[in-house]
Amino acid sequence: MIKIVFVDPTGKQHAVEASAGQSLMQVAVDALVPGIEASCGGNCICATCHCHVDPQWYGRLAPPDVLEQDMLACTNEVQPTSRLSCQVPLTEALDGLIVHIAASQH
Ligand code: FES
């Protein structure tokens, strides 16, 4: 299992377990993590799954593609470590990943 820690804007941590192959968004939705709405179901057209990957982890992810970059440009609170969680597939190498939920998602 892969442990993911979502941190909400208040600093509260939501630790969840995931499996390789799941998207970061699906894990958050399944665990009812507040702030990950994912209204398009993972099709990269809503940006309601926006999150900030912890800087120590960001470089371990495959970079966002052009479509994701375009969608991120339309979101509030874009940071250098912003990602659309539906576009982040999980692997065993991401065990311990820390993800911050953008305050604007609440
Ligand atoms: Fe819609 Fe990620 S769920 S862009």
pLDDT digits (tens, 9 = 90+) for 51-93: 999 999 999 999 999 999 999 999 989 999 999 999 999 999 9
pTM for the model stands at 0.94
Distance 47 CA to ligand 1 centre (A): 5
Please name the fold of domain 2-105.
Answer: Ubiquitin-like (UB roll) (3.10.20)
Given the CA of residue 38, which atom of ligand 1 is nearest to it? Answer: 3
**How far does the centroid of ligand 1 lie from the alpha carbon of residue 68, in Å?**
9
102 versus 69: which is more confidently predicted?
69
State the closest ligand 1 atom to the C-alpha of 85, by its place in the atom list counted from 1. 2
Residue 41 in this model has a pLDDT that exceeds 80: yes
In the chain, what are the domain boundaries? 2-105
| Residues comprising the chain, all counted | 106
Please give the number of the atom of ligand 1 that sits closest to the Cα of 41.
3
Residue 106 has pLDDT above 80, yes or no: no
56-83: burial string, b at 16+ Cβ within 10 Å, e else: eebeebeebeeebeebbeebeeebebbb
Does residue 103 carry a pLDDT above 90? no
